[in-house]
């Protein structure tokens, strides 16, 4: 880099910092969240409440997240029609799913209220601490949860914002007294570029969010920008067996450490056993034995997540035994291979998987854990555009399921064109043609009835999707 380029980068960084601190609400300020029920939005809302801000917001759906916020003092409405925004609102925060024609947002614009994106306010919060940002197409939530669990157990009291509820550490967000800030860094809308972390993780890079990026090259470029955002004195931890990462990581200016399940990486995991839902594995750091670890969650992909967490926490200064103990106590995040109930010999599991790769690795883990049992997969596609773009991948992702039930697509950010050209019937036909035993049952309530009359003792039911398919798991269990 020449001197001129370096000065341009410094100027750009200063502008970025000014923008971030401009959107930093102060104690006593009223902040209104449009889409407050989102996992990330609700997490930031919790932190601002703890910091003394007055929080209000709207969402079209109620949930346990909105209920928790209301218990903490937030005023939340489900109208989202622009009529209930407090006159004293100082700032409005919008999630990436909110469009400009949203009535609440139009009201905020009309009132002249400052509007910021969720990722901008997250960036401003991180700027005040030592940031750790976990990115990747898959595995962000679990890896973020593992890192937060280790740091909390080590007494470092980190602030964290995680894209899932983690019961073992009190939920999806925490305002810590320590100087560390752990955040799940989403690539959609290039949101993660609003963060300025000292430590970063890239778990993998695949095609996703093609409604925004259009192609894999643009996705890789965005991750390259993320890699270049890690401070020079920091660390970037990356999966060593991902060709797309190998391109993006060339843009990094900091130290880079790799991880994988073979000796070619800086951090290597060797799985000893993975039965009964428990992973036992050896860890090697630069070909030197580091320790024998245990995880109480299944799947080789979670061993990889643990390797990334170990690399990050070691860099932060946590000792090996503390990392081992914390990971051994880690029980996972909600909706990540979460066992909802086991009754009458039937096991019901719920998972957030909504991408072909996530479905495949989750069903692989289920098959390894239950090799002799019949596995049912209830899948609710998320987004018409994602289903269209990744259609062929979805049809090949159910191979470890014995029976598959497809629900109607859960819409999110979809325009009329996407709703016209794609539907679950097309996914059903393609999946059936791939040799999968599949049914199409549009409504979730009808799926529960079918399961109740068809599932036998000894079967395993896995509900999957980023929408509200989790209701099937709970309703089915409650009807046992």
The predicted-structure confidence for 61-84, as pLDDT tens digits, reads as follows: 889 999 999 999 999 999 889 999
Cβ contact 362:397 at 8 Å? no
pLDDT at 22 over 70: no
What pLDDT, in 10s, does the model give residues 225-267?
999 999 999 999 999 999 999 999 999 999 999 999 999 999 9
pLDDT band at 11 (very low <50, low <70, confident <90, very high): very low
Tokens found for residue 32: 């209104």
pLDDT band at 480 (very low <50, low <70, confident <90, very high): confident
**Which pLDDT value is given to residue 277?**
86
pLDDT band at 147 (very low <50, low <70, confident <90, very high): very high
What pLDDT, in 10s, does the model give residues 361-370?
999 999 999 9
Distance between start and end Cα atoms, the chain: 65
Determine the Cα–Cα distance for residues 45 and 53; give it in Å rounded to an integer. 9
Angle at 344 between CA 341 and CA 350, to 5 degrees: 25
**Which pLDDT value is given to residue 164?**
95
Determine the Cα–Cα distance for residues 460 and 476; give it in Å rounded to an integer. 12
Tokens found for residue 193: 């570029």
pLDDT at 346 over 80: yes
298: left (phi over 0), alpha (psi -120 to 50) or beta: beta
Q: Of 228, 261, 225, 226, whose CA–CA distance to 242 is shortest?
A: 261
- Over residues 286-314, mean pLDDT: 97
Burial class (CB in 10 A: 0-12, 13-18, 19+), 313: buried
What pLDDT, in 10s, does the model give residues 79-103?
889 999 999 999 999 988 898 999 9
- Antiparallel, parallel or unpaired: β 30-34 and 54-58: parallel
What pLDDT, in 10s, does the model give residues 264-298?
999 999 999 877 889 999 999 999 999 999 999 99
- Over residues 15-21, mean pLDDT: 41
**Which pLDDT value is given to residue 276?**
81
Determine the Cα–Cα distance for residues 81 and 103; give it in Å rounded to an integer. 5
What pLDDT, in 10s, does the model give residues 170-185?
999 999 999 999 999 9
Lateral strand order in the sheet of 346-351: 338-343, 346-351, 460-464, 375-379, 403-406, 438-440
Determine the Cα–Cα distance for residues 184 and 38; give it in Å rounded to an integer. 14
Determine the Cα–Cα distance for residues 126 and 227; give it in Å rounded to an integer. 17
- Domains of the chain, CATH where assigned: 3-120 (3.40.50.720), 129-329 (3.40.1190.10), 338-478 (3.90.190.20)
**Which pLDDT value is given to residue 96?**
84
pLDDT band at 413 (very low <50, low <70, confident <90, very high): confident
Determine the Cα–Cα distance for residues 162 and 148; give it in Å rounded to an integer. 9
Cβ contact 40:182 at 8 Å? no
Active-site residue list: 140-141, 184
| Three-state SS at 256 | strand
| Three-state SS at 450 | helix
pLDDT at 9 over 50: no
**Which pLDDT value is given to residue 2?**
37
**Which pLDDT value is given to residue 15?**
37
Between 444-454 and 470-478, two packed helices, what is the crossing angle to 10 degrees?
Answer: 40
**Which pLDDT value is given to residue 18?**
40
pLDDT band at 4 (very low <50, low <70, confident <90, very high): very low
Strand pairing partners for 267? 259, 285
pLDDT band at 23 (very low <50, low <70, confident <90, very high): low
């Amino acid at each position: 880099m020449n001197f001129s380029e370096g000065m341009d980068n410094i100027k750009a960084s200063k502008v970025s910092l000014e923008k971030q601190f401009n959107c930093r609400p102060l104690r006593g300020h009223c902040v209104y969240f449009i889409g407050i029920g989102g996992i990330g939005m609700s997490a930031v809302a919790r932190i601002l409440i703890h910091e003394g801000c007055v929080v209000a917001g709207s969402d079209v759906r109620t949930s346990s997240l909105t209920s928790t916020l209301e218990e903490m003092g937030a005023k939340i409405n489900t109208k989202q029609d622009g009529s209930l925004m407090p006159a004293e609102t100082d700032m409005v925060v919008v999630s990436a799913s909110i469009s400009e024609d949203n009535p609440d947002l139009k009201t905020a614009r009309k009132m002249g209220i400052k509007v910021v994106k969720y990722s901008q306010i997250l960036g401003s919060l991180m700027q005040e601490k030592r940031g750790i940002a976990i990115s990747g197409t898959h595995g962000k939530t679990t890896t973020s949860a593992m890192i937060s669990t280790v740091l909390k157990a080590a007494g470092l009291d980190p602030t964290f914002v995680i894209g899932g509820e983690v019961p073992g550490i009190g939920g999806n967000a925490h305002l810590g007294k320590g100087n560390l800030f752990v955040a799940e860094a989403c690539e959609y809308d290039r949101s993660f570029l609003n963060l300025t972390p000292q430590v970063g993780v890239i778990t993998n890079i695949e095609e996703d969010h093609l409604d925004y990026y259009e192609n894999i090259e643009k996705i890789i470029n965005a991750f390259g920008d993320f890699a270049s955002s890690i401070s020079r004195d920091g660390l970037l931890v990356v999966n060593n067996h991902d060709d797309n990462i190998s391109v993006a990581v060339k843009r990094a200016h900091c130290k880079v450490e790799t991880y994988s399940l073979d000796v070619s990486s800086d951090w290597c995991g060797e799985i000893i056993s993975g039965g009964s839902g428990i992973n036992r594995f050896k860890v090697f750091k630069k070909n030197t034995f580091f320790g024998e670890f245990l995880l109480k969650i299944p799947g080789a992909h979670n061993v990889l997540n643990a390797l990334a967490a170990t690399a990050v926490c070691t860099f932060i200064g946590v000792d090996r035994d503390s990392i081992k103990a914390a990971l051994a106590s880690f029980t996972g995040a909600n909706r990540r291979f979460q066992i909802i109930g086991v009754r009458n010999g039937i096991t019901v599991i719920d998972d957030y998987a909504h991408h072909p790769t996530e479905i495949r690795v989750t069903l692989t883990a289920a098959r390894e854990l239950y090799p002799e049992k019949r596995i049912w997969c209830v899948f609710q596609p998320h987004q018409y555009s994602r289903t269209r773009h990744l259609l062929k991948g979805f049809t090949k992702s159910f191979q470890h399921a014995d029976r598959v039930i497809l629900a109607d697509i859960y819409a999110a950010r979809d325009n009329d064109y996407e709703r016209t050209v794609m539907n679950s019937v097309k996914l059903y036909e393609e999946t059936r043609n791939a040799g999968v035993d599949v049914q199409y049952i549009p409504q979730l309530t009808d799926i529960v009835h079918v399961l109740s009359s068809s599932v036998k003792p000894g079967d395993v039911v896995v509900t999957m999707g980023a929408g509200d398919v989790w209701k099937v798991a709970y309703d089915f269990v409650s009807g046992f």
